[in-house]
Amino acid sequence: MSDTTPFPIETDSSGPFSGVAVVRLEQPGSPMVVLDEPLIRRIEATLLAVPKNAAGFVLASASQRVFIAGADLKSIQALSDSDLDRYLAFGQRVFGMLAALPCPTAAAINGAALGGGLEIAMHCDALIGAPSPTGKPYPVGLPEAGLSICPGWGGTNLLPARIDPADAITRTASGKPMTFDEAVSARLFDAVAPDAGSLIETCKKWVVERRARGTPARDGAPSRWIGRPGVRDRVAAALPSVRDAVPHTESSRAVLDAVSAGLERGWPAALDVERRELVRLRSTPAGKAAIEAFFEKSAKK
Residue 296 CA to its chain's centroid (Å): 25
Question: What single-letter amino acid sits at 289?
Answer: A
Closest CA relative to residue 147, chosen from 280, 277, 291: 291
- Global pTM value: 0.96
In a domain, 18, yes or no: yes
- CB neighbourhood size of 80 (10 A): 9
In a domain, 1, yes or no: no
Element (H, E) at 185: helix 180-185
In a domain, 296, yes or no: yes
| Cβ atoms 1, 41 nearer than 8 A | no
In a domain, 4, yes or no: no
The domain that holds 50 is classified in CATH as 3.90.226.10
pLDDT band for 1, please (50, 70, 90 cuts). Answer: very low
> Count of domains in the chain?
1
Rounded distance between C-alpha atoms, residue 166 and residue 163, angstroms: 9
Segment 237-290, tens digit of pLDDT: 999 999 989 999 999 999 999 999 999 999 999 999 999 999 999 999 999 999
Question: What single-letter amino acid sits at 24?
Answer: R
In a domain, 53, yes or no: yes
* Sheet of 105-109, strand order: 9-11, 20-25, 56-61, 105-109, 126-129, 191-192
Beta-bridge partners for 141: 114
- Give 252's contacts (C-beta < 8 A, 6+ positions apart): 145, 173, 174, 246
Tell whether the model's pLDDT for residue 301 goes beyond 70.
no
Sign of the torsion formed by the C-alpha atoms of 23, 9, 16 and 18: positive
Segment 210-224, tens digit of pLDDT: 999 998 889 999 999
In a domain, 132, yes or no: yes
So what's the pLDDT on residue 64?
Answer: 81
In a domain, 183, yes or no: yes
The percent of residues in the chain predicted with pLDDT above 90, rounded, is 88
Rounded distance between C-alpha atoms, residue 150 and residue 142, angstroms: 8
In a domain, 93, yes or no: yes
Structural domain for 258, as ranges: 9-300
